[in-house]
């Protein structure tokens, strides 16, 4: 059987909807558009761009993504309510290939939320799917918490949705409860027992609460599902979703036992993984499959010896298959702009002339402090690139005194809206003292939810990448920065988050969704 003769598995990416539900993973409008463009370019079949009824920001993002996307189907989420569905259609109708995705919780626990009995819920499903189909000829329906729904009732409501016009039936394991054998059995039974099942595509949507999301998704495919719902890096609420890179590479590497094909260009995986990590503020764990820093690293002497003799001894896929370049030590202080642009393009970053000028200045500053600049250093450098709109506060200078005796002190000058302000504060450690300086100059009530420091490379001159997450009145913002001085990186990340908070304040919006997914009554 040739690759073209194999069954096609559609990749439905929900990074911008389900992935963004991770606490603190909120992306800006520009970042959502960028990620959508990268998803479209890598060959994702369906992009779930958001939940249009949730907020004005979600609606605007879905609408703009629908207008700009060239190839992928653009999907919006809607509860089983006419208002939600109408709002969803208003957002996605601009797409070349729009889709409405409507859902309702069908398990006993979820039926109790809107206080609907089985017959009332069945009627609601019929009415809302019919309404969606009257607006759009591409309708997806999901029985939320399907894996904990009574099987006979699941048969009944899936049949209703198909008869009402749904073209894709998605079976969600909403709480990551099921196991691979159950996942396969459920899909198989639905296909065998529901009238009209042969006329629609069955999809699988798995959460990773028990660490089985990828296995459950692949088991569902073997049983007849032909759409996998997933996210970049497995981003998602709680323990996350099925990771796109894992299912795509599993189907590619083990095509001998799973003879299915996708339309994904796997060489673009690393670039979008890095970008999603940067904009979401969620770092990828080093031992993460496919995209982790250690995924292609070998330290054991036996492994290294085998790799030198034959890479296939300990690597089941090539680094270049997922977009990793072969060389790592790349540049120094004598490197020019053309070399920097070329290397950044190899890493997946395309820069305009003005962007390159800004990055080149910061690259030279880094090269003066660090003898060898690695790819990870350049990636960290790109993560610190900020939107001009988010540049109201700037660090001008800072001096920190710390040690085992006496209070830790920080003296700081910030430029706020073009004017310089100075202060001196103490704190429980140099970072706390520095943060107190920022707060003294720019008062706020935001709570620091997360402060993380990671070394980018090895050595005492390594850059530190700092991630900060702050929350104020429902607004959640993240900031990132990198520097060879950990305290400087910390302050710049803090200021980055604070700048984003000021933008949110000015716009008067929050990152809280204005409606609840469970509010289906």
Strand 447-455 and strand 419-427: pairing?
A: unpaired
Least confident of 47-61, 82-96, 186-200, 400-414: 400-414
Q: How far apart are CA 72 and CA 89, in angstroms?
A: 16
Least confident of 88-97, 139-148, 373-382: 373-382
Residue 511 known to bind ligand:
no
Q: Are 463 and 434 in contact (CB under 8 A)?
A: no
Residue 241 known to bind ligand:
yes
Q: How far apart are CA 113 and CA 111, in angstroms?
A: 5
- The whole-number average pLDDT for the span 197-211 is 97
Least confident of 96-105, 134-143, 149-158, 495-504: 495-504
Least confident of 138-142, 184-188, 334-338, 510-514: 510-514
Q: Are 85 and 131 in contact (CB under 8 A)?
A: yes
CB atoms within 10 A of CB 191: 16
Q: How far apart are CA 315 and CA 293, in angstroms?
A: 15
Cβ contacts of 467 within 8 Å, gap of 6 or more: 281, 283, 450, 451, 452, 454, 478, 479, 480, 493
| Mean residue pLDDT across the chain | 88
Q: Are 492 and 395 in contact (CB under 8 A)?
A: yes
HSE on the CB side for 5, CA within 13 Å? 2
Q: Is 80 exceeded by the pLDDT of residue 348? A: no
- The whole-number average pLDDT for the span 83-110 is 97
3-state helix vs strand vs coil in the chain, percent to 5: 45, 20, 35
- pLDDT given for residue 335 in this prediction: 81
- The whole-number average pLDDT for the span 438-447 is 94
- pLDDT given for residue 151 in this prediction: 97
- pLDDT given for residue 296 in this prediction: 81
Q: Are 197 and 232 in contact (CB under 8 A)?
A: no
- pLDDT given for residue 174 in this prediction: 95
Cβ contacts of 314 within 8 Å, gap of 6 or more: 298, 303, 306, 307
- pLDDT given for residue 303 in this prediction: 37
Q: How far apart are CA 286 and CA 304, in angstroms?
A: 19
Q: What is the DSSP letter of 231?
A: B
Three-state DSSP state, 31:
helix
- pLDDT given for residue 386 in this prediction: 61
Q: How far apart are CA 111 and CA 13, in angstroms?
A: 27
Strand partners, 73: 46
Positive or negative torsion for Cα 141, 142, 143, 146: positive
**Confidence tier at 304 by pLDDT (50, 70, 90):** very low
Residue 408 known to bind ligand:
no
Residue 101 known to bind ligand:
no
Per-residue pLDDT of 263-276, as tens digits, reads 999 999 999 998 89
- pLDDT given for residue 324 in this prediction: 83
| Helical spans, DSSP H, in 194-347 | 213-222, 244-253, 269-280, 301-309, 337-346
- pLDDT given for residue 510 in this prediction: 47
CB burial of residue 116 (10 Å; 0-12, 13-18, 19+): buried
**Confidence tier at 176 by pLDDT (50, 70, 90):** very high
Kind and range of the H or E element at 379? helix 375-383
Q: How far apart are CA 4 and CA 33, in angstroms?
A: 31
- pLDDT given for residue 20 in this prediction: 84
- Residue linked to tokens 């894709």: 168
CB atoms within 10 A of CB 382: 20
- The whole-number average pLDDT for the span 281-307 is 69
Kind and range of the H or E element at 501? helix 486-507
HSE on the CB side for 314, CA within 13 Å? 15
Q: Are 409 and 426 in contact (CB under 8 A)?
A: yes
Q: How far apart are CA 482 and CA 382, in angstroms?
A: 9
Per-residue pLDDT of 386-420, as tens digits, reads 666 678 899 999 999 998 877 899 999 999 999 99
- pLDDT given for residue 404 in this prediction: 81
Torsions phi, psi for 204 (to 5 deg) = -125, 135
Strand 419-427 and strand 408-416: pairing?
A: antiparallel
- pLDDT given for residue 308 in this prediction: 41
- pLDDT given for residue 263 in this prediction: 97
- The whole-number average pLDDT for the span 204-218 is 98
Least confident of 30-39, 324-333, 407-416, 448-457: 324-333
Cβ contacts of 159 within 8 Å, gap of 6 or more: 194, 195, 196
Least confident of 211-215, 422-426, 452-456, 491-495: 452-456
Strand 98-105 and strand 73-79: pairing?
A: parallel
Residue 332's region, left for phi above 0, alpha for psi from -120 to 50, else beta, is beta
Q: Is 60 exceeded by the pLDDT of residue 143? A: yes
**Residue 384 is encoded by which pair of tokens?**
């610190």
Sheet (strand 419-427) strand order: 393-401, 408-416, 419-427
**What torsion do the CA atoms of 452, 425, 391, 463 make, to the nearest 10 degrees?**
-40
Q: How far apart are CA 93 and CA 63, in angstroms?
A: 8
Q: Is 90 exceeded by the pLDDT of residue 15? A: yes
Q: How far apart are CA 507 and CA 389, in angstroms?
A: 12
Torsions phi, psi for 480 (to 5 deg) = -140, 150
- pLDDT given for residue 315 in this prediction: 64
**Confidence tier at 99 by pLDDT (50, 70, 90):** very high
Q: How far apart are CA 347 and CA 408, in angstroms?
A: 40
Three-state DSSP state, 252:
helix
- pLDDT given for residue 399 in this prediction: 95
Per-residue pLDDT of 417-434, as tens digits, reads 999 999 999 999 999 999
Q: Is 90 exceeded by the pLDDT of residue 82? A: yes
Q: Is 90 exceeded by the pLDDT of residue 234? A: yes
- pLDDT given for residue 279 in this prediction: 84
Q: Is 70 exceeded by the pLDDT of residue 1? A: no
């Amino acid at each position: 059987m040739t690759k073209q003769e194999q069954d096609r598995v559609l990749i439905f990416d929900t990074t911008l909807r389900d992935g963004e539900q991770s606490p603190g993973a909120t992306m800006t409008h520009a970042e959502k558009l960028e990620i959508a463009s990268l998803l479209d370019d890598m060959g994702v079949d369906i992009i779930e761009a958001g939940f249009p009824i949730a907020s004005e920001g979600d609606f605007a993002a879905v609408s703009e993504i629908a207008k700009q996307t060239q190839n992928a189907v653009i999907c919006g989420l809607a509860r089983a309510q006419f208002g939600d569905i109408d709002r969803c259609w208003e957002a996605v109708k601009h797409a070349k290939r729009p889709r409405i995705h409507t859902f309702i919780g069908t398990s006993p626990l979820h039926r109790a939320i809107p206080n609907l009995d089985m017959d009332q819920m069945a009627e609601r499903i019929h009415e809302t799917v019919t309404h969606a189909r009257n607006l759009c000829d591409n309708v997806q329906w999901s029985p939320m918490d399907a894996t904990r729904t009574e099987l006979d009732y699941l048969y009944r409501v899936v049949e209703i949705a198909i008869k009402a016009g749904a073209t894709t039936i998605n079976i969600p394991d909403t709480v990551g409860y099921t196991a691979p054998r159950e996942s396969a059995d459920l899909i198989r039974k639905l296909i065998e027992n529901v009238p009209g099942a042969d006329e629609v595509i069955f999809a699988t949507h798995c959460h990773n609460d028990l660490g089985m999301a990828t296995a459950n998704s692949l088991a569902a495919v073997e049983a007849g599902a032909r759409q996998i719902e997933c996210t970049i890096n497995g981003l998602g609420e709680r323990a996350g979703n099925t990771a796109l890179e894992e299912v795509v590479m599993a189907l590619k590497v083990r095509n001998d036992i799973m003879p299915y094909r996708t339309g994904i260009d796997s060489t673009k995986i690393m670039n979008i993984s890095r970008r999603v990590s940067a904009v979401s503020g969620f770092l990828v764990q080093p031992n993460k499959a496919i995209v982790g820093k250690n995924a292609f690293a070998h330290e054991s002497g036996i492994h290294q010896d085998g790799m030198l003799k034959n890479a296939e001894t300990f690597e089941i896929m090539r680094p270049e298959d997922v977009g990793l370049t072969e060389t790592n030590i790349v540049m120094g202080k004598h490197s020019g702009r053309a070399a920097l642009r070329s290397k950044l393009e190899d890493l997946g970053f395309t820069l305009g002339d003005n962007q390159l000028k800004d990055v080149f200045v910061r690259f030279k500053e880094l090269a003066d402090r660090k003898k060898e600049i690695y790819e990870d250093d350049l990636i960290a450098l790109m993560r610190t690139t900020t939107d001009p709109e988010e540049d109201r506060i700037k660090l001008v200078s800072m001096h920190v005194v710390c040690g085992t005796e006496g209070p830790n002190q920080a003296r700081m000058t910030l430029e706020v809206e073009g004017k310089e302000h100075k202060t001196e504060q103490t704190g429980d450690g140099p970072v706390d003292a520095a943060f107190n300086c920022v707060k003294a100059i720019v008062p706020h009530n935001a709570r620091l939810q997360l402060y993380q420091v990671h070394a980018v490379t090895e050595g005492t001159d390594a850059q530190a990448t700092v991630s900060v997450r702050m929350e104020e009145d429902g607004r959640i913002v993240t900031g990132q920065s990198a520097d060879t001085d950990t305290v400087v990186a910390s302050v710049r990340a803090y200021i980055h988050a604070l700048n984003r908070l000021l933008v949110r304040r000015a716009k008067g919006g929050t990152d809280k969704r204005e409606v609840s997914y469970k509010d289906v009554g």
